Structure 1
Amino acid sequence: MKTDRTIHTRTAREAHPNCAVRSADDPLGLGLESDTSEDGTTSITVRDGLRFQGYQGRLHGGIISLLFDAAMTHCLFANGLSGVTASLNIRFLRPVISGRSITVCAQVEKQKSHLHLLKGTLHQGGELKSKAEAKFWIVSPAAGYSE
């Protein structure tokens, strides 16, 4: 798939202007940034940690789910696609410590017509803490985008 910062920015702005994870304009938004590498992997790094706890000192599983969903959505944006989550399955392997740096990565694994399969990982301190698999239903390509 073709990835490009301009395509990502345009698609995100048009399809998802009030993203709860990335929007700096939303006072409740997390204001995080995503980055897409040459191989198409999109990552969201939380450098100073998040303070949304479930159990004492542990990042809430719902926040982990939100971060996976956002990384996968922005992975599609980097390819000029806009999609909605059809399913999201997360395997929580180890507790994620709140307040510490984490990186969530996502990559398109398969495409079949309007359905895309994405996989993701969450690392903290170099250790795999959780992984996810999701299906996204593609609702529209970016305006003016073609392969």
Structure 2
Amino acid sequence: MTATAIVPTEELRRATHRRMHRHCFACGDATGDGLGLRFRLGGDGGVRAEWDCPARYRSYDGILHGGLIATLLDCAMVQALFAHGIVAHTAELNLRYRRPVSTGVAVTVSARLRARCGVLCVLVAEVRQQGAVCATAQAKFMARRTEDPVAGESTNEQQPTKGKIHESVSHCRPTSLAGP
């Protein structure tokens, strides 16, 4: 399994986001009531965003809702794909909650593309608060065929047929569960 050949760029991430994801609850700029995540490409080819964890998203007093943590991780992985010019949908998301995330204390969410095998993309992500890893995720995304947001050219391989999607997911596995 190899990573995508496209070198990730901030320009490509922004263009793909504007074209395909402006209405996302977590990172969309066309919604007035979303989370307002703002991702940037890092030197390692992954993406990163800071978020202040408002108390209105709590589950227990002072603790961020676990479903929202999953949203942060999923969104970060989508943005990492955008940096490679890949538009994809979550096929499988595995989370590990390592410690509670406090509301009112900023977190950093980061993600990177680990590998690509045809239409299958494997990503890893993590949420950190005050330097401590609070949650990690590994996910498989299925790339879809779309037009390149910058050049207007067709990108990504054709989706496999319905019967082959599960087969594609099962034979492409990352080598470890290390974080971004």
Taking the aligned partners of 2:145 and 2:112, their CA distance within structure 1 comes to 19
Identity %: 32
Distance in structure 2 (CA, Å) of the matches to 1:132 and 1:22: 18
C-alpha separation in 2, matches of 1:90 and 1:42: 18
- The 5 Å alignment of 1:76-115 reads 76-115=81-120
When you count strand as a share of all residues, which structure comes out higher? 1
Distance verdict in 2 for CA 1:112–1:94, change over 3 Å:
same
Which of 33, 44, 50 is the aligned partner of 2:54?
Answer: 50
Look up the match of 1:36.
41
SS in 1 for 2:125: strand
Could you say which residue in structure 2 is the equivalent of 1:127? 132
**Secondary structure in 2 matching 1:81:** coil
1:38: Cα distance to partner?
2.5
Task: Determine if contact 2:21/2:28 at 8 Å carries over to the other structure.
Answer: no
* Deviations 1:55-90, CA, capped at 9 Å, x for gaps: 111000010000001000000001111010001110
TM-score using structure 1 length: 0.92
How many residue pairs get aligned? The number is 145
Contact 1:3–1:38 (CA<8 Å) still a contact in 2?
no
| Partner Cα separation in structure 1 for residue 18 and residue 128 of structure 2 | 28
AA aligned opposite 1:8: R
Quote the offset at 1:25 in angstroms.
Answer: 2.7
> Structure 1, unaligned stretches of length 5 or more?
none
Give the alignment's Cα RMSD to 1 decimal.
1.4
Q: Which has the larger radius of gyration?
A: 2
Report how far residue 125 of structure 1 moved. Answer: 0.3
